[in-house]
Chains A and B, each alone.
Chain A
Amino acid sequence: SQTIHQWPATLVQPVGSPLSLECTVEGTSNPNLYWYRQAAGRGLQLLFYSVGIGQISSEVPQNLSASRPQDRQFILSSKKLLLSDSGFYLCAWSLTGDTQYFGPGTRLTVL
């Protein structure tokens, strides 16, 4: 069966510091991978998606970036965090292009 991991689970970072969040999927090959952000009390905002190694599509221009160095690894990064980057970051995977399965999430607080 497929499982998806995210780490860290929680993170508190100062404004201007760098960020690296990691997501890995087990039990499947060549999944579509997604990064979402959910601000407090808000809906899901798609940030990036990837259909393969090195293939990244950005949905929202901002100070975040994503990379996919391996088939089942997806990384979300920032060089300098803003207060507005606080939120719940969710990684998801899909094989068919419709049903998406979410990881446990990373709660980021920028102070």
Chain B
Amino acid sequence: QKEVEQNSGPLSVPEGAIASLNCTYSDRVSQSFFWYRQYSGKSPELIMSIYSNGDKEDGRFTAQLNKASQYVSLLIRDSQPSDSATYLCAVKLRQTGANNLFFGTGTRLTVIP
């Protein structure tokens, strides 16, 4: 089992719809969770971090964390064509030290005008 798993997609949604991206992780005691957006040919940029169970909202983005079920999701409301990108989930696993942030392989989202 991989440490962090995402559906690779592609996920297609019409403009204005809600896009839902999901991520599961293997380590039950993970504490920090991140979503990055990567446009084609560009580097990943941090869009959300979440540390506690529940929802965290930032503009059109909502991160949802359920530690009991070991999943974290990202909702994008009122999806726009500019949201078309690959979304990477990252989880800080239990290992100590600098090398403990694990990335999923990403979900490619396409927003259709």
- A interface residues with partner B (beta carbon < 8 Å): 32, 34, 42-44, 46, 49-51, 57, 59, 88, 90, 94, 97-105, 107
Please name all residues of chain A whose beta carbon is closer than 8 Å to the beta carbon of B97 when the two chains form the complex.
51, 97
Contact A43 B43 (CB under 8 A): no
Q: Which residue of B lies closest to A103 (CB)?
A: B43
Interface residues in B43-90 by Cβ distance below 8 A to A read: 43-46, 49, 88, 90
- B23-56 vs A, Cβ < 8 Å mask (1 yes, 0 no): 0000000001010100001111110010000000
Number of B residues with CB within 8 Å of any CB on chain A: 22
Could you tell me the distance between the alpha carbons of A48 and B25 in the complex, rounded to whole angstroms? 23
Given contacts A46-B99, A97-B98, A100-B46, 15 further A-B contacts (CB under 8 A): A32-B98, A42-B105, A43-B88, A44-B88, A49-B99, A51-B98, A59-B99, A88-B43, A90-B43, A94-B98, A98-B32, A99-B49, A102-B45, A105-B43, A107-B41
